[in-house]
Amino acid sequence: MTKWSANVKAAFDRAFPERQIYHRSGGTVRYISVSPWQQAIIAAGAAALAGWTLFVTGSYVLGGPTSTIAGNPDDRELAKYERWVQELRAKDALSRSLLEERTDAFQKETAEWEDRQKALEDLFDKLKGDENLEVSAIKGDGTGLLVKASIEEADNRQSRNYEPITASFDTSGTRVSLKNLKYDQERILDEAEDMAIDRAERARGVLQLTSVGSDRIMSGAEMGGPLVSIATLTASTSNLSTEDASFYNRLTQTRARVEEMRYYEQIVANLPLGKPVGVPFRQTSDYGMRIDPFRKRPGWHNGLDLAAYHAAPIVAAGPGKVSFAGASSGYGRLVEIDHGHGFKSRYGHLSGITVSKGDTVEIGDLVGKMGTTGRSTGDHLHYEVWFNGKPYDPAKFLKAGRHVH
């Protein structure tokens, strides 16, 4: 042990011999003695510093746990960046989800608008009706016609001023919202209903002027079919929004108004409202009680006597189908035209007939020539109008015709 100690001491002395450090300043020389132990302490400190430097450098390069524990600024920035990326991804996913929801809602609302638009277009197709039916040419205020005829026929409705409208919309502006478009549809539906009511009033007013009236026509109309309640028609609106359900309920009611309008206008379009003589004429006998020209005493006259000259053109007072063409007791040569809905017109005392039974005629078509055949005292037309087997005053039909033709 003593020998080992001596060897260590000898090695220590050789490694750290006593040293003197000379320092010269201003001509004066000084020296500092450094003992072996002082040298050993300095060497140990230098070795420790070098070791620590190597350890820290290796930890930084290799990214070991020491650097994380030490809180490296680069690592903190990297973690911050990763959190930022995750937040952006979450926001992007949320935005995409909201966009899809809004897109679906927009597409659904657009489809609903298009369905409403299609329904309005179908409604206006019915409002326009047959181009050959010039029913919209009825002149005068509908309510005025009804008041002149019968207050009961007014049906508690107020006449609206007719304004041409269409079921088209200006969607050229990119900022036009579906809500505004739906508002336009509501407005147009209002106008369509007003138009249907107004036109039905006018047609019913014309019917009332003839003294027949719409009530008699409806009571004798040929109708039938299975009952379909309004609840059935509106059942499909149960899955719609309150706004759309209200729109379709009103649309159903307006359709009923339009069908009523079309029904009355169809009747008016076929009524014998035109003049039955194709040239200027004079009325020689009224409808009703008169002095019979043969018996010279009061008797009932079912029509009007209209005189012009021999062989003057006799024309159809309205469109229809010839139901009789030939000789008839009292009438002489007679043409009868069926105008549908129970209405017929008769043209008697003709000198000649130009149509045959089954022919279809339009208003103003030549059906015969004025004469004095049958129970007649001279050239004239005996003109009658019948409804459901009962004669009516033709003068009232001619008066009503002034509001149409």
Q: Which of 91-105, 146-160, 334-348 has the lowest mean pLDDT?
A: 146-160
**Same-domain status, 367 and 288:** yes
**Same-domain status, 256 and 114:** yes
Which residues, other chains included, contact 374 with Cβ-Cβ below 8 Å and sequence gap of 6+?
Answer: 328, 329, 330, 331, 332, 333, 334, 348, 349, 382
**Same-domain status, 126 and 253:** yes
Residue 169 pLDDT greater than 50, yes or no: no
User: Tell me, what's the pLDDT at 340?
Assistant: 93
Q: Which of 128-137, 250-259, 388-397 has the lowest mean pLDDT?
A: 128-137
User: Tell me, what's the pLDDT at 355?
Assistant: 97
Model confidence at 153, pLDDT cuts 50, 70, 90, reads very low
User: Tell me, what's the pLDDT at 364?
Assistant: 95
Average pLDDT over residues 103-130: 73
Q: Provide the token pair at 224.
A: 């039938």
Q: What does the pLDDT look like over 288-317, one tens digit per residue?
A: 888 887 788 888 899 999 999 999 999 999
User: Tell me, what's the pLDDT at 69?
Assistant: 46
**Same-domain status, 149 and 265:** yes
Using alpha carbons, select from 395, 208, 206 the residue that is nearest to residue 303: 395
> Of 117-126, 138-147, 320-329, where does the model show the most confidence?
320-329
User: Tell me, what's the pLDDT at 311?
Assistant: 96
Q: Has residue 127 been placed in a domain?
A: yes
How far apart are alpha carbons 206 and 268 in whole angstroms? Answer: 7
- The CATH number for 348's domain is 2.70.70.10
- Give, rounded to a whole angstrom, the gap between the first and last alpha carbons of the chain: 149
Q: Which of 15-24, 44-53, 260-269, 358-367 has the lowest mean pLDDT?
A: 15-24
How far apart are alpha carbons 157 and 392 in whole angstroms? Answer: 28
Model confidence at 100, pLDDT cuts 50, 70, 90, reads confident
Model confidence at 132, pLDDT cuts 50, 70, 90, reads very low
Average pLDDT over residues 36-59: 74
Q: Which of residues 270, 292, 319 is at a domain's end?
A: 270
Q: What does the pLDDT look like over 175-220, one tens digit per residue?
A: 456 667 777 778 888 888 888 888 888 898 899 999 887 777 776 5
Instruction: Confirm if 287 and 395 have CB atoms less than 8 A apart.
Output: yes
Q: Provide the token pair at 26.
A: 């201003």
Q: Which of 125-134, 251-260, 319-328 has the lowest mean pLDDT?
A: 125-134
**Same-domain status, 120 and 219:** yes
Q: Has residue 84 been placed in a domain?
A: no
Instruction: Confirm if 375 and 239 have CB atoms less than 8 A apart.
Output: no
Residue 336: give the domain boundaries: 282-401
Q: Has residue 101 been placed in a domain?
A: no
Residue 324 pLDDT greater than 50, yes or no: yes
**Same-domain status, 321 and 249:** no
Instruction: Confirm if 293 and 383 have CB atoms less than 8 A apart.
Output: no
Average pLDDT over residues 1-10: 70
Q: Which of 28-42, 185-199, 254-268 has the lowest mean pLDDT?
A: 28-42
User: Tell me, what's the pLDDT at 363?
Assistant: 95
User: Tell me, what's the pLDDT at 373?
Assistant: 95
User: Tell me, what's the pLDDT at 306?
Assistant: 96
3-state SS class at 69: helix
**Same-domain status, 262 and 301:** no
Average pLDDT over residues 49-60: 74
Using alpha carbons, select from 309, 303, 278 the residue that is nearest to residue 290: 303
User: Tell me, what's the pLDDT at 106?
Assistant: 65
Q: Has residue 2 been placed in a domain?
A: no
Greater confidence (24 vs 380) lies with 380
What 8-state DSSP symbol labels residue 151?
A: G
